[in-house]
Structure 1
Amino acid sequence: MLESAFLPRKGDADQLVGLVPHMLGYHPTDALIAVINRPDQPLPQVISLPLSEPTGTLLTHLTLRIPEKARGTVLIGYGPAIHRPKITAVSEVLEFFTPVFGRFLYDDGVLTCLTPDCDCAAAGGVPVDPRSTRIAAELALTGRVALPSGEEVHALVAPDDIGQAEIQAALDTIDEAAPPADVESLMRAARNGERLTADQVARMCLALHDREQLVTAWHYTRGRHWQHALWLDVTRRAPQQHVAAPASLAAWSAWRRGQDALAVAALDRARAIAPGDGFTRIVGYLVDAHLPAHRLRWPLAKQLDAPPTGSHP
């Protein structure tokens, strides 16, 4: 299904533009996109970096993030034609590290191939609507939704005023001097497909102020779909004074899943409330450095993937 999108043949270059938004989760603008083919993955990996970054910075981030097993990469710059030399320069240096099968510019609805002497359909520029491509329809059927913009991604972690009021009302009934709730049991309820009640979210908010409970939540958050949904939900519903921990966990989960834009959006919420929080800073270092989860080399990464026997939220 993806071969013609990854290695564009004549008439198929437009499939790249249909692929990218559904892999990122939103339609990019002002971005350098790397579409990476991996033999161990059924779908390509897609990396998004700000096209406004200097060439050297883009290369540093890309060489750090492209897996060792990558078969090759296609680069697409989303932005004005002024960035054509930058896209070309990045691709030429990147070829020393991995094969670059294509380089493109997508500007104002037109996809242009930047590979010299290429005779593909996009060599002279071809109009493309990513929403109408075949591959976009195929990926949409698998449940991969492409939001209209990065702003829509931020909306996924935006405060839910009604939910916050409900959680605050529940917090007002809880004795904060009592021992914190058990994060593992609350996460287990979410794993079973339940949306946490207002009382459960309130208890989760209080529990995450306890360092041991926060570490436990972090330990068990590996980017699984139910964990992802849990922390986004708690981030939206938690009153402002309780947002930092769940928002940082939402960022961590998104980062583990390769959803960098959502990780940044969640971090923005956490930093707005507690910019000096230690856990938020740790997650922020990883996300801001564009470090991929598979390249992380430290003991905690192994622990996160292998929780202790006996309790598996």
Structure 2
Amino acid sequence: MEKIKVISPATSANLGPGYDIFGLALSEPYDTITLSRSGGGISISVKGEGANKIPTDVDKNTAGVVVREIIKDFNIKEGVKIEIEKGIRPGSGLGSSAASSAGAAFAMNELFNLNLSKLELVKYASLGESISAGFPHADNVAPAIYGGFTMVVNYNPLEVLHIPVDFEVVVALPDIEVSTKKAREILPDSISLRSMVNNVGKACGMIYSLFKKDVELFGRCMMGDSVVEPYRSQLIPGYLEVKEKIKDLVYGITISGSGPGVIIIPKEGKISRIKEVLDEVWACPVYHTKVGTGIQILERN
């Protein structure tokens, strides 16, 4: 194989009470990643959504770091050309950097027939995430690779649990900038025992709901976060207004990752009205999508 093209999906991390643990793969939006064998070295080109904000230096690009590390670990003698077409806006809270790093790991595995497991792909992809998050971070790359719903339950050694699920999702993307750094800094250094018990209970309810295929319970527990959302909602003007206006139209709503993206679990037949409210408050891009199956191969030759 000389070339491979994949689509790497947006993901939603945290999902309310599952801070830094839960992740959900979406069907769209997505990045398109193309890797080709080349004579030597690593080259990167980026186009599409927010391309001007993304560095093409190998050591500063999430996909570049992943490719660099795999080339080193497997003593690959050939070079690699990386072409990234962004469909996920950087800084959206929808795993934009993770889509690039996970897509690169997946594509390298296929291009050079490395036979890496999904868990090993998550390890490599999380190295790319260290560029944007400051440390190897897996809660977005895991669902991009596994699809469905994932839980990163341990880092040393890395352990990822996966539940395949299928339900509708609405994602709103307000035209607001929220840096990951600011979104982390605003969180408290410690929380009360009551808040901890609340969030553990709601997280358990979400996992139970997936096995029972109870989307209403999933959404209700997703809205039960008493630790992160109260702080991060301050960074997203209009969020509390939207939440109040659509509370009877949804099973659940919460901030996606660090924001400003917002993930919504709609009730049947209510999507049109939800979109109207989102347009009234934010006049922003809205995706009516569903839980996705993770990275998919578009072409190989």
Higher helix proportion (structure 1 or 2): 1
Higher strand proportion (structure 1 or 2): 2
Q: TM-score, normalised by structure 1?
A: 0.28
Q: TM-score, normalised by structure 2?
A: 0.28
- Greater relative CO (CA pairs within 8 A, separation 6+): 2
If you compute each CA radius of gyration, which structure gives the higher value, 1 or 2?
Answer: 1
